[in-house]
Amino acid sequence: MAAGFNITGRKLWLGLAAALGLAATAQGAEPQVPIQVRADGSFPLQYIESVSNTSRQHNLSAAPYLGLVATANLAPDVSTSVFANGGHNELGSFRDNDNTFVSAGGNLVKRWGALSTGISVEHTHYYDGIFGPTTNIANDVNLFVGTIWRPNPDLKITPAATVSMRFDEAFAVQRYTYGARVEIEQRLTGPWWAFVTPRLRYLDYVGSEAGRRDTRLAIVGGLKYVFNDSVSARMLAGYENRSSNVAGKDSDKLTFGVSLDFDIDFTRPRGLGGR
């Protein structure tokens, strides 16, 4: 589904802007089909420091992130989505590349109450700097499972696990990734929340890097201020350690940042509060 895209950063941003404009004109109208259109984004200022045995890199970025997703409910407990996103990595995400990217794909999700499982496919172009030359093209197939546990209105715990297979531009398998993480959010007072997210990923490489094994352990924590159902602000610090059985691949990454985030449901009827 996500294969074969030839996208430039400028074209994706223009397409997202056009889609947002169309969705905005339809806001407040009752949809004729059970389709949800949502936009999410982030305007961050973040500092990232990467340290390996051979180098030390510093990166300060204010490039925004923008995403658009359309979801159709195939049944009360089954949905499918198509999405496009791009910009800089979201604050504290520790993606493989610290520069800009554009991505498009889709998923199919099955729910059992608070438990969700599904499969997604994604095609990504990575760029040098702010949409400079293409540095890498990746195709990912992901299997995922997750749940949301809310023991009380002021505490939200979201554990999730993912198994991914990455292909290169020629659709040769590059690696398998096994990951797990837990997002914990606790209200402190009023609109202030504290959050922490530990994450573990194990990467098993094949092909030209067959035999390489990486373990990446990360933790991100900070504060969030919720203005309303659609807009919030975050300030956080994060750390990731990568250990590898290949010499020279070990590294440490540290990030600090602040961001203004939004998540807008264009098809939610006016006057309803909360998501």
pTM summary value: 0.79
Query: Are the CB atoms for 105 and 86 separated by under 8 Å?
Result: no
What pLDDT score was predicted for residue 128?
84
Closest to 91 measured CA to CA, from 241, 234, 252: 234
Q: pLDDT tens for residues 141-164?
A: 999 999 999 999 999 999 999 999
What pLDDT score was predicted for residue 258?
96
Closest to 183 measured CA to CA, from 151, 149, 153: 149
Q: pLDDT tens for residues 59-105?
A: 887 889 999 999 999 999 999 999 999 988 787 787 766 678 999 99
Q: pLDDT tens for residues 6-49?
A: 344 444 444 444 444 444 444 444 444 578 999 999 999 989 88
Which domains are present in the chain?
9-265 (2.40.128)
